[in-house]
């Protein structure tokens, strides 16, 4: 049989086919996706679940003139295959290759860049309003999963769309899963919607209409169609928000999907429409279907067996070290609570949940709620640990400021994926948390330079009961050092000196310490013996250590895996206020550059960032060559 996918490079090619050929295209697209991800790794289960939706949407709508927006977009690989990137897919998530998420600079078919959840309806509404203001009549379609629909932002957008009566189509991809199993009342609501798939006979329908529901529905509905829609939709939440609700429908029947989308496209309905499609995450690949996470994110794997090719290491990941240490503390202290936002396995709290199911709360994709929920717990004497990726904690910054810092509530923030994250690229990099937390009053901000330091920071945080604290740690495995006992704690605001040298001091904050050590070895061979200190704390600063280093050395270099405005900026401010620069001290601050660094191997990303050992050596050598002396301040204080 001729392979149809070979002839499809763009959606315009897809639209040349007959409707009865689309099941074959879907089958081939599913096979291609499995083959690609088996070689590259990445997100698989979500893409397998939207194969038919992808084909139907591009078949019916005139993309890219019609605008298609994918929420989160880890399910966008099939979309990429049929929108001009089929031959580039083996470069997925590699340096210079195809992004694992939609990216506007990559293709005109990627209407809106996304990797964080629940942004699709808001962005689609903005595009819809813009088109209306420009007197353009494009179709705007947002595809959002039931997990992403649990976030408040989605409902804010739907409420606005309904009020504006905007021309907008929202496809609810309901697979009963986001990354983990969905949680909360909304997931139960969707389960009720699913029950609407039952086909009622006329007699059964009449019984329902004349039951206790009848008064409620007949008061609101003027047509029998509206009455039946109210019953089938299990509560008409979407109708109450101003959406015309269609569904639930089989999200894997591509021919039926085409007919429904054709009807939606031709509809004269004056307002937004929601199409509720029931799909199966991991559909069509048995190992994914049987897996607990439906192969949400995978490494390279064997297609025939589904076995993933994982690197063997006896060194635990930072995430595992955090989870194991928190469990040990929770065995001693019944007040310790675990909180995460739809990332139990990513943060290690799935292990905590197995041990303490009543003390772990996955609040869904709702980081804002997670932070204020944790704040509420602290007011009753509990010790919540909010384990949230750095990039996702950004979504709750107002709550961190207003509900936690302002009230000096002792929420403990375990900030995973701090720094650069390799193949996930800039959307998931933890670049800004040092800056956005260190500016806040009442906060204690720590960064682990290895897994031993992480344990000590967790130990320390357990006893901090009068203010919020945060400890950040990177993605991946530790360095292989011996782990301390639970009794080993840090003195708040005190760093440490690892190597004593002369004239030059490196002041490290966080995970770049190993590169600092390598740089020191390189410089020793050149006759340069420098001091290395590990700050441990960005707030409060170890002022004594910093001033001692500044007064006893000619050059200080601070190093952190974060943006400008963070640790180095605070050190510079301290030295400036104390007048240390007046004495001619040379100071350099090594930070992440003022760019978003594209996906690549971690080693190459650190090279681009200028935070590898070679870059550290060059920074020091260039500073030593500089003869520029800071002019003394002649103004009287």
Residues with a catalytic annotation lie at: 281, 367, 395
How many CB atoms within 10 Å of residue 38?
20
Residue 392 DSSP SS3: helix
Residue 292 DSSP SS3: coil
Contact 209, 227 (CB under 8 A): yes
> What does the alpha-carbon distance between residue 385 and residue 379 come to, in Å, rounded to a whole number?
14
> What does the alpha-carbon distance between residue 288 and residue 183 come to, in Å, rounded to a whole number?
21
> What does the alpha-carbon distance between residue 202 and residue 1 come to, in Å, rounded to a whole number?
45
- The separation between CA 559 and the C-alpha centre of its own chain, rounded to angstroms, equals 25
Written as one string, the DSSP assignment of 254-275 is HHHHHHHHHHHHH---SS-EEE
From the CA atom positions of the chain, what is the Rg in Å?
28
Contact 104, 112 (CB under 8 A): yes
The backbone region for 38, taken as left when phi is positive above 0, alpha when psi lies in -120 to 50, beta otherwise, is alpha
Directed axis angle between helix 254-266 and helix 22-40, to 10°?
Answer: 110
Contact 200, 208 (CB under 8 A): yes
- The helix (run of H) or strand (run of E) holding residue 337 is strand 336-340
Contact 280, 49 (CB under 8 A): yes
The backbone region for 446, taken as left when phi is positive above 0, alpha when psi lies in -120 to 50, beta otherwise, is beta
Tally: H helices and E strands in the chain: 27, 19
Residue 132 DSSP SS3: helix
> What does the alpha-carbon distance between residue 531 and residue 547 come to, in Å, rounded to a whole number?
14
- The helix (run of H) or strand (run of E) holding residue 522 is helix 513-524
Contact 277, 190 (CB under 8 A): no
Contact 507, 556 (CB under 8 A): yes
- The helix (run of H) or strand (run of E) holding residue 98 is none
How many CB atoms within 10 Å of residue 378?
21
How many CB atoms within 10 Å of residue 591?
23
Interstrand relation of 336-340 and 383-389 (parallel, antiparallel or unpaired): parallel
State residue 168 phi and psi, 5-degree precision: -160, 140
- The helix (run of H) or strand (run of E) holding residue 9 is none
For residue 491, give the DSSP letter.
P
Contact 365, 185 (CB under 8 A): no
Q: Could you tell me what percentage of the chain is helix, strand and coil, using 3-state DSSP and rounding each to the nearest 5?
A: 45, 15, 40
Which residues are CB-neighbours of 58 under 8 A, at least 6 positions away?
11, 14, 15, 68, 79, 82, 83
DSSP H helical ranges for 117-236: 120-133, 152-164, 185-195, 202-209, 214-220, 224-232
Contact 120, 168 (CB under 8 A): no
Residue 3 DSSP SS3: coil
């Amino acid at each position: 049989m001729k392979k149809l996918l070979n002839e499809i490079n763009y959606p315009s090619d897809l639209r040349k086919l007959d409707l009865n050929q689309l099941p074959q295209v879907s089958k081939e697209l599913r096979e291609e996706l499995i083959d690609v991800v088996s070689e590259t790794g990445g997100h698989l289960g979500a893409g397998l679940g939207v194969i038919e939706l992808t084909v139907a949407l591009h078949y019916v709508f005139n993309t890219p003139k019609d605008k298609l927006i994918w929420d989160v977009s880890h399910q966008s690989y099939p979309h990429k295959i049929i929108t001009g990137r089929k031959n580039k897919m083996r470069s997925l998530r590699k340096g210079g290759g195809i992004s694992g998420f939609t990216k506007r600079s990559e293709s005109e078919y990627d209407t809106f860049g996304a990797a964080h959840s629940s942004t699709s309806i808001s962005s689609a509404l903005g595009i819809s309003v813009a088109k209306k203001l420009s007197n353009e009549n494009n179709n705007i379609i947002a595809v959002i999963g039931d997990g992403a629909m649990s976030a408040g932002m989605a409902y804010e957008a739907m409420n606005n769309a309904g009020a504006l009566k905007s021309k907008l189509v929202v496809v609810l991809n309901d697979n009963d899963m986001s990354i983990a199993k969905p949680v909360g009342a909304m997931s139960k609501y969707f389960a009720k919607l699913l029950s609407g798939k039952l086909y009622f006979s006329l007699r059964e329908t009449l019984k329902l209409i004349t039951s206790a529901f009848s008064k409620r529905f007949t008061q609101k509905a003027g047509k029998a169609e509206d009455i039946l829609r109210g019953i089938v939709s299990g509560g008409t939440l979407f109708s109450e928000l101003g959406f015309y609700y269609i569904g639930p429908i089989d999200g894997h029947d591509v021919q039926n999907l085409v007919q429904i989308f054709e009807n939606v496209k031709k509809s004269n309905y004056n307002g937004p429409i929601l199409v509720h499609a029931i799909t199966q995450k991991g559909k069509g690949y048995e190992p994914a279907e049987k897996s607990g996470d439906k192969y949400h994110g995978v490494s390279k794997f064997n297609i025939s067996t589904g076995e993933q090719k994982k690197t063997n290491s006896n060194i635990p990941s930072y995430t595992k070290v955090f989870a194991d240490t928190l469990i040990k503390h929770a065995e001693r202290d019944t007040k310790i609570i675990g909180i995460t936002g739809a990332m139990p396995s990513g943060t290690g709290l799935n292990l905590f949940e197995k041990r303490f199911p009543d003390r772990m709360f996955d609040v869904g994709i709702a980081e804002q709620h997670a932070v204020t929920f944790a704040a509420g717990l602290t007011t009753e004497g509990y010790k919540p640990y909010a384990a949230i990726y750095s990039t996702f904690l950004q979504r709750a910054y107002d709550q961190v400021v207003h509900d936690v810092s302002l009230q000096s509530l002792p929420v403990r923030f375990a900030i995973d994926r701090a720094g650069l994250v390799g193949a996930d690229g800039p959307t998931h990099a933890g670049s800004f948390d040092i800056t956005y937390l260190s500016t806040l009053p009442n906060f204690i901000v720590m960064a682990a330079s290895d897994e031993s330091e992480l344990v000590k920071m967790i130990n320390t945080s357990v006893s901090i009961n009068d203010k919020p604290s945060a400890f950040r740690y990177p993605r991946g495995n530790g360095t292989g050092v011996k782990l301390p006992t639970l009794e080993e704690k840090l003195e708040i605001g005190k760093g440490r000196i690892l190597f004593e040298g002369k004239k030059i001091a490196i002041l490290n904050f966080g995970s770049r310490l190993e590169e600092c050590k390598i740089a020191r070895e390189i410089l020793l061979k050149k006759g340069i013996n420098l001091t290395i200190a590990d700050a441990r704390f960005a707030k409060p600063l170890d002022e004594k250590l910093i001033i001692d280093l500044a007064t006893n050395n000619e050059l200080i270099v601070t190093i952190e895996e974060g943006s400008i405005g963070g640790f180095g900026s605070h050190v510079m401010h301290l030295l400036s206020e104390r007048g240390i620069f007046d004495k001619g001290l040379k100071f350099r601050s090594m930070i992440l550059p003022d760019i978003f660094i594209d996906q690549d191997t971690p080693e190459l990303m650190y090279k681009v960032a200028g935070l590898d050992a070679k870059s550290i050596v060059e920074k020091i050598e260039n500073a030593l060559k500089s003869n520029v002396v800071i002019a003394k301040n002649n103004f009287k204080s």
